[in-house]
Amino acid sequence: MAMAEVTKEKLESIVDLALDVLMSRDADAGWQNSSILGRVRDCGGVLPKGEVSTVTVWKKGWLLGDWKPKHRQALAVLEKIDEPYRQAVLINRAYLNRTTITEEPVTGKRTETYWSSERISRELGISKENFRARVHRGYKKLGKELEAAAGNIN
């Protein structure tokens, strides 16, 4: 499979399959944190130095067991990408230009958050340009992993 054949849509569909598992409802086995950085930490994206995460959401996703093979394959391909790039494509696809609503459990107060590239970058502690570069490189790396996986099948 030549790189030209790996379309952006194909790469996005792989990320979407992984997100099906990773963004399952909060009541599912995967999530323990509800903020964007909490979810990123759970999926192996950003862990502060010294913090140990023995069971990440990636591993929990595998343990759920009722996901289709295409979901497992998507996770397997994405897992081969270095964490900053994996994190960038996942967050970009899940949050960029979307609005999330959070509810304070005690008061019930609802807050809307619009996730622009500026907002995401600020939350991640990197520049907007760095975030965009990571997304671009992440998709390039995903395409290469997909090509390698296809080469192993043929």
- Secondary structure, 3-state, the chain: CCHHHCCHHHHHHHHHHHHHHHCCCCCCCCCCCCCHHHHHHHCCCCCCCCCCCCCCHHHHHHHHCCCCHHHHHHHHHHHCCCHHHHHHHHHHHHHCCEEEEEECCCCCCEEEEEECHHHHHHHHCCCHHHHHHHHHHHHHHHHHHHHHHHHHHC
pLDDT in tens, 17-29: 988 888 775 444 4
Q: How confident is the model over 99-147, as pLDDT tens digits?
A: 988 888 889 899 999 999 999 999 999 999 999 999 999 999 999 998 8
pLDDT at 51 over 90: no
pTM above 0.95, yes or no: no
